[in-house]
Amino acid sequence: MTGPVRSLYGLSTLVRRSLGLQSCLSRCHLKTSAHKRYLTTGFATEYLHNSFPDLTDSQLEIRTAISKVCADFPDEYWIKAETEHRFPVEFHRAVADSGFLGICMPSEYGGSDLGISEAAIMVQTIAESGAAYAGASAVHMNIFGLEPVRKFGTEEQKKRMLVPLIAGKERACFGVTEPNTGLETLKLKSHAVKAEDESGNYVLSGRKIWISTAQVAEKILILVRTTPLEEVKKPSHGLSLFYTDLDRSVVEVKEIQKMGRAAVDSNMLFFDDWNVPKEDLIGEEGNGFKMIMHGMNAERVLIAAEALGIGYAALRRAALYAKDREVFGRKIGKNQAIQHPLADSWMQLEAARLMVYQAAHLYDEGHESGEYANAAKYLAAEAAFRACERAVMTHGGMGYAKEYHVERYFREVMIPRIAPVSREMIFNYIGEKVLGLPRSY
Ligand SMILES: Cc1cc2nc3c(=O)[nH]c(=O)nc-3n(C[C@H](O)[C@H](O)[C@H](O)COP(=O)(O)OP(=O)(O)OC[C@H]3O[C@@H](n4cnc5c(N)ncnc54)[C@H](O)[C@@H]3O)c2cc1C
């Protein structure tokens, strides 16, 4: 389903569920100005911006509804989760209970049939509420991760896999990156062979790295090679995708200590002789790379939206601090050396935001190539990084104190600069695919 019809039904159900409203359909038709008045009073925290005049009614509805969910999870919650290295289970539960985990999944499996444009608003708002990357990462795999199952799974698989994920009863992680091959995904070494018995099952062996949420996830979507590289016509052939139980009796999950987002774990995975049922193979054997690529553009758009959220949160905090802090007998915000970089960051974030929502819109309309999604991810991550750095500097010494949260944003905003694809690989892609230059790698 596309366009307004898609939005109206799913939006109505989703927002009514999360806000406890009698009828959302009538509110969807409120005039924009009245709608915006409602929204400005309805926002949950002083750190959320109200000034996005271009958002559609459905996006504004989503922003209000998810900000209500986030209001129960203030900064103190996130700093505690970070300090204790504890997965934000209550937040994940609250997002699931409000119906948001299935925002862009089909309604027959418990989803809302909305698009990436609405999901982007949702994750931007989560990050912007102060939850930053920890909050967004706690749910984002649930939102886009099972896109290959939605698109290529059988009816039986969709029911078995999507329903518990959308209901928040199961959590999933995503296993692609490997220690020795990094961004060169087609060379990944983990492999699966057919079991020697009659079962038709697969036996997986290998290693993965940086797998987020594997400490808490019950399930994993994992890409492995089923036909050796030497035996395929093209390197993108012979990879297969499984969605299966993360069986801890055979998979060793070892946490990586890292710079930020300590509440949401990242891990090394080691596995050998891991028996995986043939029923957990998604789509055709050997076609896994094509399937995984299908979800990549959506993932990039969502990561970009999350970066925007952190950038706006940092900027807002910086502006509030600069209006309040007095040194040399005047507010520091009166100094242009403080004010101008913040103004510049607002413009950079807004420019990136236009690209993010353009990419989301194109994705929802069926545009398949990745130039806009990649450009959005790059521009948003860089704009957000600069906003976070400037927010730390605006706070002076207090920028380095945990109490003001901007140092947490600054550490977390490094993630979208690196993952799921690096800046350099985006330049390579644009150079080759948009500008027609020779492949440089
Ligand atoms: C916090 C975090 C969470 C993550 N979560 C997940 C997850 O859940 N699941 C998952 O599968 N992965 C995950 N990742 C992995 C992430 O997607 C990779 O780290 C990322 O794709 C980069 O790969 P790499 O680290 O292997 O870098 P490498 O491939 O080793 O590259 C290192 C550097 O060299 C540059 N480089 C390499 N080749 C070229 C070239 N030809 N031209 C120019 N520059 C080049 C890269 O741009 C990069 O800067 C996560 C990473 C982080 C940091």
Give the residue from 119, 124, 121 showing the smallest Cα distance to 145: 119
For residue 33 the two structure tokens come to 């100005």
Between 10-14, 197-201, 307-311, 388-392, the lowest mean confidence (pLDDT) is in 10-14
Asked whether residue 46 carries a pLDDT value surpassing 60, the answer given is: no
Between 75-83 and 132-144, two packed helices, what is the crossing angle to 10 degrees? 90
- Helix, strand, coil percentages (3-state) for the chain, rounded to 5, are 55, 15, 30
Neighbours of 372 (CB within 10 A): 20
Q: What is the mean pLDDT of residues 68-93?
A: 96
CA of 418 from ligand 1 middle (Å) equals 6
Which atom of ligand 1 has the smallest separation from the CA of 421? 21
What is the CA angle 306-307-308, rounded to 5? Answer: 90
**What is the torsion angle, in degrees rounded to the nearest 10, for the CA atoms of residue 74, residue 79, residue 84 and residue 87?**
50
What is the tens place of the pLDDT at every residue in 261-311? Answer: 999 999 999 999 999 999 999 999 999 999 998 889 999 999 999 999 999
Neighbours of 151 (CB within 10 A): 13
Distance CA 96, CA 85 (A): 21
What is the tens place of the pLDDT at every residue in 97-115? Answer: 999 999 999 999 999 999 9
Could you give the residue ranges of the DSSP H alpha helices within 270-331?
288-324
Residue keyed to tokens 């490094």: 414
Q: What is the pLDDT of residue 53?
A: 82
If DSSP codes are grouped into helix, strand and coil, which group holds residue 2? coil
Alpha carbon nearest to ligand 1 atom 36, residue: 424
Domain spanning 290-434: CATH superfamily: Butyryl-CoA Dehydrogenase, subunit A, domain 3 (1.20.140.10)
Give the residue from 363, 258, 346 showing the smallest Cα distance to 308: 346
Distance CA 139, CA 134 (A): 9
Residues 432, 380 contacting (CB under 8 angstroms) = no
Asked whether residue 39 carries a pLDDT value surpassing 60, the answer given is: no
Distance CA 279, CA 149 (A): 12
CATH class of the region 172-289: mainly beta
Q: What is the pLDDT of residue 56?
A: 84
Which atom of ligand 1 has the smallest separation from the CA of 182? 26
Choosing from 82, 143, 144, 422 the residue with most ligand 1 atoms within 8 A of its CB, the one to mutate for a pocket test is 422
Alpha carbon nearest to ligand 1 atom 37, residue: 183
DSSP assignment string, 393-409: HHTGGGGGSGGGSHHHH
What is the CA angle 414-417-422, rounded to 5? Answer: 140
Alpha carbon nearest to ligand 1 atom 45, residue: 424
Query: What residues are in contact with ligand 1 under a 6 Å CB criterion?
Result: 173-177, 182-183, 210-212, 266, 415, 418-422, 424-425, 428, 441
What is the tens place of the pLDDT at every residue in 419-429? Answer: 999 999 999 99
Q: pTM for this one?
A: 0.92
What is the tens place of the pLDDT at every residue in 194-250? Answer: 999 999 999 999 999 999 999 999 999 999 999 999 999 999 999 999 999 999 999
Residues 60, 118 contacting (CB under 8 angstroms) = no
Distance CA 59, CA 382 (A): 24
What is the CA angle 23-24-28, rounded to 5? Answer: 140
Alpha carbon nearest to ligand 1 atom 12, residue: 177
CA of 78 from ligand 1 middle (Å) equals 26
Confidence of residue 57 (pLDDT cuts 50, 70, 90): confident
Alpha carbon nearest to ligand 1 atom 1, residue: 415
Residue extents of the structural domains in the chain: 3-152, 172-289, 290-434
CA of 172 from ligand 1 middle (Å) equals 20
Choosing from 177, 180, 224, 300 the residue with most ligand 1 atoms within 8 A of its CB, the one to mutate for a pocket test is 177
Q: What is the mean pLDDT of residues 317-327?
A: 96
Domain 3-152, CATH among 1.10.540.10, 1.10.3720.10, 1.20.1280.290, 3.30.1110.20: 1.10.540.10
